[in-house]
Chains A and B, each alone.
Chain A
Amino acid sequence: MSSIIELKNICKSFGDTEVLHNIDLSIREGEVVVVIGPSGSGKSTLIRCINCLEMISSGELTVDGIRIPEERGRTRQIRLEVGMVFQQFNLFPHMTALENVAFGPCKARKMNKSKASDIARDLLKKVGLAEFENKLPGQLSGGQQQRVAIARALAVSPKVLLFDEPTSALDPEMIGEVLDVMKSIAKDSGMTMVVVTHEMGFAAQVGDRLIFMDDGRIVEEGKPGEVMKNPESERLKDFLGHVKHH
């Protein structure tokens, strides 16, 4: 299968601090890539670069055939194909769950309102929130909000979904419901997914590839089960120890 995301020698600096050093990464269509690593290792920056929320400082990024930085004017095109789910949900607080989900297709895909609402209703049903369509985000639990956010990202029918620590802001009892939705997306739709997470169980179950980042570099990658069982680098051994025993 061809690769839908291609990073070649990517560097990203904020001011004088370089947070990504010469990253090379290629992601195939339909692949589920899980990115782990200690905080400050550049995981979030990496996926934020993929949909151009952060502009790369050097190197070459190709997403669905669009090349950055050459085609910098086409970042909106990239974002239409690459959805994102955030740690803090970021739902529009003045819109109901249904309006949140329908907003994307309506404005980005220029769909008429009733068609967008139909799509939104279907997606809310899919994430198990059909009866909450008229609630404002403030009236929903964290887990419910994140499921609405996933439905919202799916509504513009992207080819890739990026998840930036989607369960890190949730109470423990709500993590499961969100991971279940993510698992079903990976299994049912064959969506290409890049997931930054600390959920090792999810990584082992759903991930096709596990990437361990530290200090702005990809330190280790491979099949999740193998990488977790036989970590090569000391840093990954150390990291896995911390994740398991906290």
Chain B
Amino acid sequence: MGFEFSVITESLPALLAGAKLTWIITILGIIGGMVCGILAGLGRIAGTEALGEEPHGIFKPISVAIRYISGCYVETIRGTPIIVQAMFLYFAFPMLVKAVTDIERFRIEALTAAVITIIFNAGAYIAEIVRGSVISVNKGLLEAGMSLGISRFQLIVHVIGPIAFRRMIPPLGNQFIISLKDTSLFIVIGVGELTRQGQEIMASNFRALEIWLTVAIMYLIMTTVLAMSLRKIERKMKIF
């Protein structure tokens, strides 16, 4: 059994369909993960000097609560394997819903579970990236802005945000690529993404070399596209 190029051309449509699904899960996952990560990342430093002055009155306990909730989220996600998270959401969560409510036929689609898992998983890691970048911005800039009478919200949007964002790009590139590759784990909940498609074709024709080589190259192309888009954004931003 030598290397058969025809095996690749024959399985290409199915693999491309899998790659498309992988891409969709990844893109939705990292967009949602960014929203989640920015909220949780800022949440973890809410009411600290990194975001301006310390709050007083009622805002003090509120900011403590926000920090605590964000911290619990990040630690829980980081502390459990993504494959367990996906299985929990797909298999265990519907049972939990059934146990505490009267809803009998609650079900989460495998694809939905996959996207949600990536959103929450990537979100936790992105939260730490956001937190680290924001903390790294010179506190003097915030002080300078505040001493002009500018609101903290405006300063976060126009000063801290752009400077922190540029510093986030390299670690974000890491996380996006990791998330893309993590989609291959959704083979366990039966999502027809690229790895699953490869596995199914391989099971019927036993051409491991051709199939896994093609699958690997497809992943490589997708991660390269992600990495290059981020590099492009990085170059477009002013150097400072």
Contacts and interface: CB of A to CB of B under 8 A. Distances in A.
A75 B147 CA distance: 10
Interface stretch (B92-100, B157-165, B226-234): B157-165
Contacts of B141: 90, 92-93
A183 interface: no
B150 A104 contact: yes
Contacts of B238: 94, 136
A108 B144 contact: no
Contacts of A138: 240
Contacts of B9: none
B158 A79 contact: no
A214 to B, nearest CB: 25
Given A94-B162, A103-B158, A107-B158, A76 B151 contact: yes
Interface in B45-81: 53, 56
B147 A53 contact: yes
Interface in B139-161: 140-141, 143-151, 154, 158-159
Interface stretch (A81-89, A224-232, A234-242): A81-89
Q: Is the interface of A mostly helix, strand, loop or mixed?
A: mixed
A126 interface: no
Nearest to B143: A53
Nearest to B166: A94
B138 interface: yes
Given A94-B162, A107-B150, A108-B150, A86 B144 contact: yes
Interface residues of A, number: 34
Contact of B240 (A52, A136, A155): A136
B53 A84 contact: no
B: interface residue count bin: 20 to 34
B163 A94 contact: yes
A51 B53 CA distance: 12
Contact of A79 (B149, B154, B159, B163): B149
Nearest to B237: A94
A153 interface: yes
A155 B159 CA distance: 18
B163 A93 contact: yes
B168 to A, nearest CB: 14
A92 B157 CA distance: 13
Contacts of B162: 94
A238 to B, nearest CB: 32
A129 interface: no
Contact of A83 (B147, B154, B163, B240): B147
Contacts of A125: none
B148 A90 contact: no
B136 to A, nearest CB: 13
Contact of A90 (B140, B151, B158, B163): B140
A102 to B, nearest CB: 11
Nearest to B147: A84
B148 A108 contact: yes
Contacts of B150: 103-104, 107-108
Given A53-B143, A55-B53, A107-B154, A90 B138 contact: yes
Contacts of B145: 92, 103
Contacts of B151: 76, 107
Contact of B144 (A84, A94, A136): A84
Interface of B: 53, 56, 138, 140-141, 143-151, 154, 158-159, 162-163, 238, 240
10 contacts: A77-B149, A79-B146, A84-B147, A90-B140, A93-B141, A94-B238, A104-B150, A107-B148, A149-B144, A152-B148
Given A90-B144, A103-B150, A153-B148, 8 more contacts: A53-B146, A55-B53, A79-B148, A80-B149, A83-B147, A84-B143, A86-B143, A90-B138
Nearest 4 pairs of A and B residues by beta carbon: A80-B149, A90-B144, A90-B140, A93-B240
